[in-house]
Amino acid sequence: MTVKTLKETPSQTAGPYVHIGTVPAAAGLQVRTQEKLNITGLKGGEAIVIEGCIRDGSGELVRDAMLEIWQADAKGRFDAGGHSGWARAVTDFKTGLYRFETVKPGPIQWRDGRPQAPHITAVIFARGINIHLHTRIYFDDESAANEADPVLKQVPGEAMRQTLIARRDAAAKATTYRFDIVLQGEDETVFFDI
């Protein structure tokens, strides 16, 4: 017999009605309508928008997903004891787009003290996703930092690395990065087992 710890409660899909419990106003409930969940509470540094869509293995938009992000502030510090580095968004029922408003994170130390390139942790929940998918959002205007990043270095191949890099939208008024997520197929986003 091996040593037994308790087992983690198993995951189940968030289902198509995830909005009711997590973003009730999106489901049509007239509760907590004042909450702006897709905006982090971070102050200072460069204000940015991250938007994009999620596609399935047939290229269809995933219009019933819920996403969350967690990140450091502009100086690379995590909010210990608060949730200012956290936000939650849903993909729009019609356009399929999600949108976060936050600040660009600073560099964060890797386990051995090396810097990690600025990045945002993202998790995705939806109908048909049995256990949430965990990924990272990096920035295309941080190419030097990205090249030295200890996580990006572990991703096999440039094409797969590119799936983790948000692209600056030069045409947008606010500083906007586009980050599309592909659940399956040729351009499948890299997802992590942490």
> Could you say which residues in the range 25-84 bind another protein, by CB under 8 A?
27-29, 31, 56-58, 60, 62, 64, 68, 70-72, 78-83
Rounded-to-integer distance, Cα 38 and Cα 191, Å: 22
Q: Is 106 or 175 the residue whose CB approaches another protein more closely?
A: 106
Q: Is 10 or 170 the residue whose CB approaches another protein more closely?
A: 10
Q: Is 43 or 134 the residue whose CB approaches another protein more closely?
A: 134
Q: Identify which range of 3-11, 95-103, 139-147, 170-178 contacts another protein by CB under 8 A.
A: 3-11
The two tokens of residue 178 are 């586009």
Q: Identify which range of 43-51, 95-103, 107-115, 165-173 contacts another protein by CB under 8 A.
A: 107-115
The two tokens of residue 149 are 């990043």
Please name the helix (run of DSSP H) or strand (run of DSSP E) that holds residue 39, with its range, or none. Answer: none
Q: Identify which range of 85-93, 95-103, 139-147, 172-180 contacts another protein by CB under 8 A.
A: 85-93
Q: To the nearest whole angstrom, how small is the minimum distance from the Cβ of residue 136 to another protein?
A: 7
Rounded-to-integer distance, Cα 30 and Cα 59, Å: 33
Given candidates 136, 146, 176, 177, which one binds another protein under the rule CB under 8 A? 136
Q: Identify which range of 1-9, 45-53, 140-148, 170-178 contacts another protein by CB under 8 A.
A: 1-9
Rounded-to-integer distance, Cα 79 and Cα 73, Å: 8
DSSP-derived pairing of the beta strands 133-139 and 165-168: parallel
Burial 158-174 (b: 16+ CB within 10 A, else e): eeebebbbbeeeeeeee
| # residues near another protein by CB under 8 A | 77
Footprint (CB under 8 A) of another protein, residues 5-24: 5-22, 24
The closest of 98, 130, 135 to 14, measured between CA atoms, is: 130
Determine, following the binding rule CB under 8 A, whether residue 2 of this chain makes contact with another protein.
no
**Using alpha carbons only, how large is the chain's radius of gyration in Å?**
17
Footprint (CB under 8 A) of another protein, residues 162-181: none
Judge whether 89 and 99 are in contact, CB under 8 Å: yes
